[in-house]
Amino acid sequence: MQYTHLGRTGLSVSRLCLGTMNFGPVTSQEDSNLIMDHALDHGINFFDSANVYGWGDNRGWTERIVGEWFAQGGGRREKTVIATKLYGDMGDWPNDGKLSALNIRRACDASLKRLQTDYIDIYQMHHIDRRTPWDEIWEAMEVLRSQGKIIYVGSSNFAGWHIAQAQESARRRNFSGLSSEQSIYNLVERTVELEVLPAAQHYGLGVIPWSPLHGGLLGGILRKQAEGTTGRSNGGRAAEDLERLRPAIEAWEALCDDLGEQPGDVALAWLLHQPAVTAPIIGPRTLDQLDGGLKALDIALSAETLARIDEIFPGPGGTAPEAYAW
């Protein structure tokens, strides 16, 4: 396994992050335990979750599965850098969501209980809260950190200017602020290259891409359709974008054939070549899918190959403002 620091911090994390969103709704607790054990066996020490995973009436289900796995002992908790999130509503009552100081306190305590741990390594804001002042948010995070309940703070789905707001507010308080940003980032969705990645690099944040295969679209969907093995890739983001992007996907899969690699592995490898990226989130539903993702670490993409990929999926054209102005 390859490791890197999370942004400017001294925290060492694996170059792949195990996403747990499927645990519970899609993957049974028994299979989830096997996947987590297998991940540790291969050196993946970075796991990502959220309090709302499980969804609907089952919110919190995924954290409970991870917590019961931690409770088995054997160094599982000590070996794992666990990141989880708050923001989404965990109930129907006022203050059951968002980033008020009240909900930050309650949500953290609830996640700690479900995860069966006394601290969270990276506590992430799942979305920007436009109604809560930054001083209130940072004061609440400072209290959690002083209590030993969290170590680092991260964001998710923030715009570049939200990162700047957060960091400048934290600077005024002599607080370290954000250590990471978790954004949708893949070959199809490259908007973060305009301002989020430059902001993350400027402030020293590690970037954790989610949906690295764009819902399966970049994972060899055309080949799987021909074989009748598309599974969940037939729906969601992949199905919505396939027809619009079919020529690009055809060219993408042909390129991967030329390389002799699986499309999903090349898509992950491309992210690992991008500046500021710490670790893409892989969300395996099975052990085989986990093993497949690990192959990306061994794929080195030449400058020529990277240029060919840019021709297929050109992105926004670089960072702002040069991407759209002189």
Domain ranges of the chain: 3-214+263-301
Helix, strand, coil abundance in the chain, percent, nearest 5: 45, 15, 40
- Count of CB atoms within 10 A of residue 259's CB? 17
8 A C-beta contact, residue 183 and residue 209? yes
pTM for the whole structure: 0.94
Rounded CA separation 128/142 (Å): 18
Any idea what DSSP says for residue 298? Answer: G
Residue 235: per-residue pLDDT: 60
Superfamily, domain 3-214+263-301 = NADP-dependent oxidoreductase domain (3.20.20.100)
pLDDT tens digits for range 65-110: 999 999 999 999 999 999 999 999 999 999 999 999 999 999 999 9
Reference 82, options 17, 164, 5; nearest CA is 17
H/E run at residue 81: strand 81-86
Helix, coil or strand: residue 260: coil
How confident is the prediction for the chain on average, in pLDDT? 95
Q: pLDDT at position 239, please?
A: 74
What residues are labeled active site?
A: 53
Per-residue model confidence (pLDDT) at position 213: 96
Write the pLDDT tens digit of every residue in 74-83: 999 999 999 9
